[in-house]
Amino acid sequence: MTITEIQDEIVDEFSMFDDWMERYEYIIELGKKLPLINEAFKTDDNIIKGCQSKVWLKGEQNDNLIVFTADSDAILTKGIIAILIRAFSNQKAADILAADLNFIDEIGLKEHLSPTRANGLVSMIKNIKMYALAFDAKN
């Protein structure tokens, strides 16, 4: 699937919920389903700066696709990174760099987060794009 198709799917899923309490519960469920990151990747080098809680993100290139793994010590934050990984993992670096991020606004995520969590979301996206930039430069 393309990034746009995945993002559209995420928007559709969020539109099924009537209120933000249900959406928060869904985000938490997504966090619980996030595959475990290899403990070796839980290093200071992989911590995302700017997040209130600890978030580890690791990107590796596999057959011209970037595969992301992540974890967080906060369950809501883990759900947020799970949404981003779903949208951007197993995609080409150039596609990640060119991706439109409107789906975040469409689901209302940024506006329903505390200011510190919203800053963390921006930092997560920035790190995903930085991995894409680094891998794109190698190709």
Q: Please choose, from the candidates 12, 91, 19, 83, the residue with its C-alpha nearest in 3D space to the C-alpha of residue 59.
A: 91
Tallying the residues shown for the chain, one arrives at 139
Strand ranges inside the chain, DSSP E? 55-62, 65-72
Tell me if residue 22 falls in helix, strand or coil: helix
Contact predicate 111/84, CB 8 Å: no
51 is catalytic: yes
Per the listing, tokens 């919920």 go with: 17
Cβ-contact 11, 87 below 8 angstroms: no
Residue of 30, 34, 48, 51 with catalytic role:
51
Closest CA to 89 of 62, 118, 123: 62
DSSP 91: B
- Active-site residues, by number, are 51
